[in-house]
Chain A
Amino acid sequence: SQQGEEDPQALSIQEGENATMNCSYKTSINNLQWYRQNSGRGLVHLILIRSNEREKHSGRLRVTLDTSKKSSSLLITASRAADTASYFCATLYSSASKIIFGSGTRLSIRP
C-alpha cells in the first residue's frame, strides 16, 4: 500500500499546549496535504505543501516537509478546544493521478 502513515494515532494535550503530528510516506511525491475532520463531518482542507517547499504556515498551523526522510509534520500552536478533531495527511505520488489519505491522528484538547 502507498498509504501515508500518521503518528501518533491518538494525542491528548492540555488547552494552550502545542500539538505535533507526523506523517510518513513511501515514494516520491508531488505534494502533501493536511486535512481536518470534526466528528461526524467531512474533511476540511488545511494546507498544501509542494515537494520543493520545506515549510509553510497558515495562522496557528505550521507544516514542514522533509523529502529525504519522506516525512511531514503538522504543528498546531496554542491549541484550543475547537482543534479537537482527526487530522489526515494526503499525498499525491509522482507516479499516480490521485491523492492517497493516511489513517489519521485523533487529537483531543483537554480544557
Chain B
Amino acid sequence: DVKVTQSSRYLVKRTGEKVFLECVQDMDHENMFWYRQDPGLGLRLIYFSYDVKMKEKGDIPEGYSVSREKKERFSLILESASTNQTSMYLCASSYGHSNQPQHFGDGTRLSIL
C-alpha cells in the first residue's frame, strides 16, 4: 500500500512565523500535491510538482512556496504565516500521468494565532 506521511497532525504557530509542512511518500511517485481544505470550499490546490526540483502553481499559491529536493519529499512553506492560513493541509502523491488516482496523507491541522 502507498503511504503518504505528513510530519504533524496538529500544529500551532504565531502570525509572522515561517512554517514548514513536510510530506513524504514511499512509492516512488512522480507527482506530489499540496491542498488546503476549508469548510464549504472543498480542496483547493496550492502547488504541485511533477518531478524533482520542479513546481507548478495551483489555484491559490499566494503566501506559500514549496520545495522538492528529493523525489519522495515535498515541503510546503508559509513564508510569513497569517491567520487566514489557518486550515487543514493535505498532501497527496500519484504515479505517472495526472489522471491517475491520488494517495493522500492524513493531513495537518494548522492554527495560526
- A: which residues have CB within 8 A of B? 3, 30-31, 33, 40-45, 48, 88, 90, 92, 97-104
Contact = CB atoms under 8 A, between A and B. Distances in A.
30 contacts: A3-B42, A30-B99, A33-B101, A40-B106, A40-B107, A41-B107, A42-B4, A42-B90, A42-B92, A42-B105, A42-B106, A43-B43, A43-B90, A43-B92, A43-B102, A45-B101, A48-B99, A48-B101, A88-B42, A90-B102, A92-B98, A92-B99, A98-B33, A98-B58, A99-B98, A100-B45, A101-B42, A101-B43, A103-B41, A104-B42
Contacts of A98: 33, 45, 48, 58, 98
Interface residues of B, number: 21
Contact of A97 (B98, B101, B104, B107): B98
Nearest to A103: B42
- Does more than half of chain A's interface fall in helix, strand or loop, or is it mixed? strand
A79 to B, nearest CB: 23
Nearest to B6: A42
Closest 9 CB pairs of A and B: A42-B104, A103-B42, A45-B101, A101-B43, A43-B104, A42-B106, A92-B99, A101-B42, A97-B98
